Amino acid sequence: MIELLTADTPNGKKISIMLEEIKFDYKVTKINILKDDQFKAEFKKLSPFSKIPVIIDHNEKVSMFESGAILIYLAEKSGMFYNKDQRTTINQWLMGQMGYVGPMLGQHHQFHHYNPGKSEFGEKRYFKIAERIYKELDERLSKSKFLAGDDYTIADIATFPWIARHEWHDIGLHKFKSLTRWYEDISKRDAVIRGYDLLNKGDQIPKV
C-alpha cells in the first residue's frame, strides 16, 4: 500500500492521478502547509527540503520525495506510462515540467493570484512567462498527440494539474487550440477525474 503525504496542490495531484491510473491501493495523509506541517521534524525526515508530496511504499519500506522522482518510481513499479523506447523524450518533457513549467507557473500564482498589486514587476514578468509556456506547449501539441509522442505518459500526468489551474492564469486556455485539445482529452479520463479530487472534497476539473 502506498501512503501519499501531500497538500492539495498540482504537485500532489500528479501523484494521486498516477496512483489512480495504475490502480494501486493508496491512502492520503494531508500535510497542512498553511500550518507549516511540512517543517515538522517527522516530515523533514522524509523530505529534506520540506516539500510535498512524499510517498511511503509500505510494502517495500521505501519513502520518496520529489514528484518527478515519485512518478518515475511508480511508472517503473507498475510498468505503465513510461515506455522504454520513449524514455529519452519522456524524460525531457518531464524535466521541463519539473524545472520550468511548474516553478514558473507557481511564481505566476504567487504574484498574479495570491498577491496582486504588490509587485508590478513580478506580475508582468511571470504573466509573460506563463503566456510563453502556453504557446510553447501548444506548439508541441500541434505536432504531437501527447507531450512525448503518440502515447499518454508521466510527462502528461506531471503537466496536466498545472494547466488545470488555467483560471488562475488569465491567459485564456481556449486561445490555444492544441493545448485545449490535449487538456480536454486528459480531463475525460476516469482516473484523472478521480485523482484530481485529491482530498475527496468534490473538486472537479475546471472547464475550458
pLDDT digits (tens, 9 = 90+) for 152-195: 999 999 999 999 999 999 999 999 999 999 999 999 999 999 99
What pLDDT is attached to residue 141?
Answer: 98
What pLDDT is attached to residue 65?
Answer: 98
* Total-model pTM: 0.96
Residues of the chain with CATH 1.20.1050.10: 84-189
DSSP label at residue 207: P
Residue 8 pLDDT grade (very low, low, confident, very high; cuts 50, 70, 90): very high
pLDDT digits (tens, 9 = 90+) for 17-72: 999 999 999 999 999 999 999 999 999 999 999 999 999 999 999 999 999 999 99
DSSP of 64-94: EESHHHHHHHHHHHHT-S--GGGHHHHHHHH
Cβ atoms of residues 26 and 2 within 8 Å: yes
pLDDT digits (tens, 9 = 90+) for 82-139: 999 999 999 999 999 999 999 999 999 999 999 999 999 999 999 999 999 999 999 9
Residue 5 pLDDT grade (very low, low, confident, very high; cuts 50, 70, 90): very high
Report residue 164 as a C-alpha cell. Answer: 488545470
Residues of the chain with CATH 3.40.30.10: 2-81
Rounded distance, CA 141 to CA 152, Å? 12
What pLDDT is attached to residue 137?
Answer: 98
- Helices (DSSP H) in 79-198: which residue ranges? 87-96, 102-108, 120-141, 154-163, 166-169, 177-187, 190-196
CB atoms within 10 A of CB 189: 19
Multiple choice CATH, 84-189, 1.10.3720.10, 3.30.465.10, 1.20.1050.10, 1.25.40.80: 1.20.1050.10
Class of domain 2-81: alpha beta
What pLDDT is attached to residue 64?
Answer: 97
